[in-house]
């Protein structure tokens, strides 16, 4: 069953172009992973330093495999240097649970 993963980050006062470059790289990495379907990036209407990525994966196992991968862990280490607080994750199955 497909899943959507909400990934919320609040960045310190960092140049938008730097944040954008990191998000583009992360999306490029995800696109190469089995089970990746799509993702979108949203910026909070009142706080441009808060970014929400909504990623869709074929199933929860595909997401967890990518989440735990070395390439993603390296990206997360880079994010940690410019984040204000922790990254928040929420995982949702598509449709109603059976």
pTM of the model: 0.90
For residues 37 and 97, give the distance between their C-alpha atoms in angstroms, rounded to a whole number.
20
Model pLDDT for residues 41-72, shown as the tens digit of each residue: 999 999 989 999 999 999 999 999 999 999 99
For tokens 């990525």, what's the residue?
A: 53
Confirm if 58 and 66 have CB atoms less than 8 A apart: no
Model pLDDT for residues 10-24, shown as the tens digit of each residue: 999 877 888 888 899
For residues 91 and 7, give the distance between their C-alpha atoms in angstroms, rounded to a whole number.
9
Residues 6+ apart with CB under 8 A from 38: 55, 56
For residues 25 and 6, give the distance between their C-alpha atoms in angstroms, rounded to a whole number.
18
């Amino acid at each position: 069953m497909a899943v959507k993963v909400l990934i919320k980050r609040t960045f310190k006062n960092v140049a938008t172009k730097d944040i954008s470059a990191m998000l583009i790289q992360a999306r490029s990495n995800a696109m190469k992973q089995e089970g990746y379907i799509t993702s979108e990036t949203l910026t909070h209407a009142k706080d441009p330093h808060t970014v929400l990525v909504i990623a869709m994966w074929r199933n929860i196992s595909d997401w967890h495999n990518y989440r735990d991968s070395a390439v993603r862990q390296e990206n997360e280490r880079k994010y940690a240097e410019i984040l204000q607080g922790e990254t928040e994750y929420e995982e949702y199955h598509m449709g109603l649970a059976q």
